[in-house]
Every structure is written in structure tokens, then in C-alpha cells.
Amino acid sequence: MISKETIEKVFDIARVEEVIGDFVQLKRAGSNLKGLSPFVNEKSPSFMVSPVKQIWKDFSSGKGGNAVTFLMEHEHFTYPEAIKYLANKYNIEVEETVETNEEKEKANEKESMYLVSEFARDYFKNTLLKTDEGKAIGLSYFKERGFTLETIEKFQLGFSPDSWDVFSKEALGKGYQLEFLEKTGLTIKREDGSLFDRFKGRVMFPIHSMSGRVLGFGGRILTNDKKAAKYLNSPESDIYHKSKVLYGIYHAKQAIAKLDNCYLVEGYTDVIQFNQSGIENVVASSGTALTPDQIRLVSRLTNNMTVLFDGDAAGMRAAVRGIDLILEAGMNVKVVTFPDGDDPDSFAKKTSNDELKIYLQEQAIDFIQFKANLIMNEAKNDPIKKAEAIRDMVNSIAKISDRIKREIYIQECSRIMDISEEVLFNTLAQISKKEVADANKKFTEEKKVFEVVKNNEQLQPSKIDIQYELEQKIIEILLLYGNKVEDFEDIFMVENEEGELVEVRETNAFKVSERIYLALQEDEVELTNPVFKTIYNDLISYHNQNEEFVIEKYLSQVSPEVADKITSILMLEERDSLHQWEKKHIVVKQKEETIGQYVSETILTLRWYLVHKIIDDTKNSVSSNIEDDNTEILLSIKDYLGLTKIIAKNLGRVLARF
């Protein structure tokens, strides 16, 4: 187990904006940072990070928390994994206490698969660099590709011995379970019970998650065996989903965000060769067709993608289909092609670093120009093929959501294809009209399927739970201002010399948490929401025992459920900055300016609400029988109504009934 001292050190040093910045492109929004949600597809940012409070909130998915909870949500880490990741990021030495056998057995299945994969990575790397077979076959191959030892170490390349079960025996001998060797696809069990290594005799390319964990492997065979696949990937598993992974994303993420552009290539060696040439913002789809999930990985870091094609025309035509998906995601796309016979790997290998960078800059053309030239060359002088090519182009332009971009692309398409803009706009309108019609049809069908309200029933607007909102405000106040000392005005009714009741106002300084506690105690009020009640009692106790209140430290000691709720409350006020009210000349009142008043108003409003509840309950006890005497009950209601008027007067405004 990780020591308490290590955990405290991690929370002291780790910065939530730096941790999340490795995965999401963040932009300044006042005192906060905002970006696209890493959990759902969206085009307008709803993901907020507060460097001051050291918390984050995703208003699209509802998730929120601190740096540790982000890693647990985004990378599916366990709590100890997240702590170790942060410790490694900030060069903090991890102190651990000895785990019992029972604690080891509690490691979940995914973690066991990660551990097996990481053992395999180390085994393959050691075999490559430290065995005669590995050096003679694997290392020689990588050196022929022009990879330096530094590059080999960086990408953790390896070699799997050309033996049926040597790896599997080694793993089992080290205590790794056959169940997880099979589930990760590293070991295959025959029907007769014998084992063999999936990647035997191959050079190995570990495939990393965005956080650097080993998800699976790609293995390249070095013999001329026509029956064996040239490249072999790990099978789908609980930790490896090929359609959701981009090779090289772990090494590229910071460069992509910094340079605001991502180069997309096809293979592992393309990525590695580019990195060695000093171009780190590059990822590979690993030979598969580009998927929306892979695009979403990049869109968190940049809105710009440059697709690199080799000179193979058939390959280019197939890859162009992926461009439509990138456009649909709202990204900007450029294309770079290499001379015939070259791919990114071979071109980078024979070109100096500076020349490669210049080539990429000068040869990058907009997708519209590239695709138009490509399909028009295929159509040549065939009118029918040309018409199909034009419709194909307009179909791509229709994927773009930005109207200004669409119009510019139509103009460019008109120029390249020598056809009037009017025809292209009409075609675009037809496509858009059809898409709207299809969407409406789909909506109507879904509506019929999920229709649950009877024809004669009307949907009632949901009623706001005022007590819930007020109790949430109290928790928010305790979290934001609980340890602050503020002036509070109290109003008393006292007799003067003539025996008349007069109003006396007195100002006293209180710690905000004390003021709230005393006010609720005086009214004998307890919070009704069980989660709020738990948080309230814990916060009051914490403020009484501690002079300082540091939110990130407090969050580190509460349960994930409570931490999630606290984060949601804290980030409610940050949601206003997403709407950029100041640009619309709408002033949003800042509570910090009048904390004392804000606290008093919240308490008085809760009192007013609770008194009205008592009035309603009392009214329900009035007997409808004429013979019964309801005088005492009616007088009680009158007194309570008088109390509501006093509360409204103290609040300085008229309050409507809820």
C-alpha cells in the first residue's frame, strides 16, 4: 500500500491543470480554463478546470473531481494507480507498505492484464537488447531501419524469441496467471492444453494509452513466411480496443497540444522515424481505417490534423474516406503526399530534419484541393464520372458544420472543377435537405418507440425543489467561505423606556461556518438531503478543528461519491463563464463582494421556506367540522404569517410563495 505521506505529497505538488493538460487542450477563460469534454463528443467546450480550487467539472457528462479522480475517470486507473502516475510525473518517490496476500488478491482483472502486458514489454525489451538472438535478429532489423538505441528505448521496442512457448513459461514462472496471459492474447492455449506464444519470432511494438500504460502489442515478422501475417496485433480485450487507440499518442500528446497540429500516418515505423527526425506530433492509425473514437482522441488536443499519404493511389483513395470523418468532427484538415515509391518512414530516413520540416510545411495543402485533384484525375474526360466526382466533393463539404467554411470550400471547389457555384450550392442544399429529412424520420421513429405519455395526458413542468437548492447553497458557502471571518448584522426587538418594542441592529464578526451552525442550531434545523447532511456535519467538524481549509486536501480524504458531489457544487458558479456573459454586457454578481449578505440571505430564505411549510402543515390540520374550535390553530397561522413578513422585511424584498 502507498504510504499516507506519499499521498499527501502528491496532492501538495500535483497541479490539476497540468495533469489534465496532458490529455485535453485547455484555453484560458477568466480565472479558469476550459476545453472540449474528453468524455463525450461536443463542439462547444463544457469542460472547466479551476486552478485556484484545483478541481475540474465536465458539464456534459456530469463528472468532476480533482487530478486523481480525472485519471480514474479518463484512464480508468484505480486510486493507487493514479497516485503512482502522479508521483512518476512529478518525480516523487513512492513509499509503500508491504501488501498482504489478501490485498494482492483484490487487484481487479484489468489491473492484472495491465501488469501482464507491462511484464511482456520488459521481457521483449530485455530479449532485444541483452540476448544473442535478440541482438542478431531484432536489433539488427531496427538498426537497418535507422533507429538509434535512444529511439528504441523511447518507444520500448522489443523482440519475442522464435520459440513456441519460451515467453509463456517465463511469465508463468514469475507468477503471472495463465488466465490473464490468454485474455491479453500474449499466450494461446491449444485444444490439447499446450501453450504457444502469439508473437514468436517477431519484433515488438508496445501500444500505449494516452497515459503511457501498455494496452497491447504489434508484432512484425522478419522471415519470408507467406502463410504468416506480416503484422500481427493483440486481440481485442478489456484493456485494448484497436478502434479507440492511436499508436504514438502517449509520446505525441504534448507536442500536438503545443504545436496545435497532429500528423496522421499509417504505420508504427512512420511514427518512430518522424520522432527520430524531431517531429513528435505524429500518430498512426496502425493500418486500420480511421474511426470517430480515434479522431476524438486527437480533437481533445488540437483542432488541426494533417494527413500524410504515400504515393500509392489506391491507398490514398481509401484513406480519403477518413477525411470526411475528420471534417464531421469539426476539425481542419490538410494533406501532404510523398513522391512515388516513398512513405513517411522512407522519406524521413533519407531527408535531413530541417528539410523534412520544410517539406511538410510547403507541401501541406487543404483537403479540398487534394481531394478535388485526386478524383478529377480519376474521372478525366468521362462526364458521368466527373458528375459523380463533383457530388462526392459536395458530400465532403456537407460534413462541415461551419457555414462560412462551407461557402469558402464551395467557391474553391467551383474554381478547381470549373463548375458554377450556383450548381454546387443547389447540390449542397439537396444533400442538406435529405439529411434533415432522414434525421426527422429517425426522430419520428424513435419518438414512436419511446412514447410513454398517453394522448390525453399533458407533460407538467418539473417543480424546483427549493429546499434542495437552499441546502446545496449552504454546502457551497461552507466550501468556499467557511473559514472566512465576516461581519453579520443581527436584528433584535427590545422594549424602550415607553414600553414599546423597537428594532435594534447590531453588527458582530463571525467565522462563516460558525454563523451557519449557530443559525441552524437556533432554528433546530437539520438538512434533509442525506448527502448534504453528511457533507454539512463533516465540514462543520473540519472547520472547527482546522484553521485553514484547502479544498484539494479536503477532497483527498472523502469518498469518491462525496468528492464528486462537492466538485459539482463548487463548479456550479464556474458554468457562468462558459456563456461569456461579459461579452454580452451582462454583469454576473460575484458573491465574494458581499459574503456576509449572501450568507444571511441564504439562511433567511431557508427560514422563510420552512415557516411556509409549517403554515401549510398547520392549515391541513384545520377541521372542516363546524362544531370544532379552530381558533387556536388559526391564531398560530396568523403568528407564522407575521413571521414571514418580518423575514421578508429583513431580506429587503417581497418573496413570492413557492
126 contacts: CB under 8 Å, gap ≥ 6: 158
Of residues 332, 342, 277, 287, the one with CA closest to residue 306:
332
Please tell me the predicted confidence (pLDDT) of residue 315: 58
Helix H or strand E segment including 207: strand 202-208
pLDDT band at 349 (very low <50, low <70, confident <90, very high): very high
For 181-190, write each residue's pLDDT tens digit: 999 999 999 9
Please tell me the predicted confidence (pLDDT) of residue 179: 94
435 contacts: CB under 8 Å, gap ≥ 6: 398
Please tell me the predicted confidence (pLDDT) of residue 454: 40
Of residues 649, 560, 552, 543, the one with CA closest to residue 604:
649
Please tell me the predicted confidence (pLDDT) of residue 654: 42
pLDDT band at 465 (very low <50, low <70, confident <90, very high): confident
Pick the more confident residue, 513 or 218. Answer: 218
283: which strand partners?
264
CA atoms within 13 A on the CB side of 412: 18
Judge whether 229 and 179 are in contact, CB under 8 Å: no
Task: Calculate the alpha carbon distances from 130 to 125, 136, 138, 139 in Å.
Answer: 8, 10, 11, 10
For 226-269, write each residue's pLDDT tens digit: 788 889 999 999 999 999 999 999 999 989 988 999 999 989 99
Judge whether 236 and 242 are in contact, CB under 8 Å: yes
485: which strand partners?
511
pLDDT at 85 over 80: yes
Please tell me the predicted confidence (pLDDT) of residue 125: 97
**Region 479-486 average pLDDT:** 86
Q: From its phi and psi, is residue 54 left (phi > 0), alpha (psi between -120 and 50) or beta? A: left
Number of neighbouring beta carbons within 10 Å of residue 626? 6
Pick the more confident residue, 644 or 131. Answer: 131
Quote the percentage of the chain above a pLDDT of 90.
31
β-pair type (262-265, 304-309): parallel
Q: Cα–Cα distance between 318 and 351 in angstroms, integer? A: 27
Please tell me the predicted confidence (pLDDT) of residue 456: 43
pLDDT band at 103 (very low <50, low <70, confident <90, very high): low
pLDDT band at 636 (very low <50, low <70, confident <90, very high): low
For 563-611, write each residue's pLDDT tens digit: 878 888 888 766 655 555 445 444 444 555 578 888 888 888 887 787 7
For 285-329, write each residue's pLDDT tens digit: 876 788 888 998 898 888 899 999 876 655 566 567 778 888 888
Please tell me the predicted confidence (pLDDT) of residue 396: 85
Please tell me the predicted confidence (pLDDT) of residue 154: 96
Average pLDDT across the chain, whole number? 82
Please tell me the predicted confidence (pLDDT) of residue 609: 81
Domains within the chain, CATH numbers bracketed = 4-89 (3.90.580.10), 108-240 (3.90.980.10), 256-431 (3.40.1360.10), 466-658 (no CATH)
pLDDT band at 163 (very low <50, low <70, confident <90, very high): very high
Q: Cα–Cα distance between 156 and 171 in angstroms, integer? A: 18
